[in-house]
Amino acid sequence: MTLPIYVLNGPSLNLLGTREPEIYGHATLADIERLCATRAKVYGLETVFRQSNIEGVLVDWIQEAREKASALIINGAAYTHTSIAILDALRAFDKPVIEVHLSNPFRREPFRRHSYVSLGSTGVIVGLKEHGYVLAIDALANMLESTSNDRRRTN
Ligand code: DQA
């Protein structure tokens, strides 16, 4: 049985749906949680979906994922651009990590163009609104499947 994919969301993503919809779209966080769970199910996978406004809580969840998750999807929101603590936690997580952003930070303010999270991520998906999370599940399902095939071949 494959461990679940953790989907972690940073500050103010709890306000999705009403927060700057012209930038982030109209889907709520609950909608995105449902999309992730439904897509994961197609591959026989489960998701653990969480949001926090607190940097240390996100660090704790990344540490928890070392034992309890097969892979991580993270939208660090504003902490993306500031948090060495989140980067260090990601570097201690030696399984696939996909960084997702609803908007495309590269066509916004210059301070959004640097991501600490990217330095600890396997791949990055930006600018595709909630669909980015679904694509991240597809990518991880593919990676997890090929790792388990490799394991089967060597056993
Ligand atoms: C975001 C982009 C960040 O720059 C911003 O601080 C967010 C949301 C996104 O999903 O587009 O809160 O991570």
Residue-wise pLDDT for 14-51, tens only, equals 999 999 999 999 999 999 999 999 999 999 999 999 99
Atom in ligand 1 nearest the alpha carbon of residue 101: 10
Q: Where in the sequence numbering do the catalytic residues fall?
A: 24, 101
Task: Please tell me the total count of domains within the chain.
Answer: 1
Range of the domain at 96: 5-154
Query: Which DSSP string do the residues of 34-55 spell out, in sequence order?
Result: HHHHHHHHHTT--EEEEE-S-H
Distance 129 CA to ligand 1 centre (A): 10
Residue 155 pLDDT exceeds 70? no
pLDDT over 90 for what percent of the chain?
92
Atom in ligand 1 nearest the alpha carbon of residue 100: 10
Query: Residue 5: its pLDDT value, please?
Result: 98
Q: Which residue has the higher pLDDT, 82 or 147?
A: 82
Distance 50 CA to ligand 1 centre (A): 16
* DSSP-derived pairing of the beta strands 123-126 and 97-101: parallel
CATH code for the domain in which residue 140 is found: 3.40.50.9100
Q: Which of 71, 73, 65, 75 is nearest to 115 (CA)?
A: 75
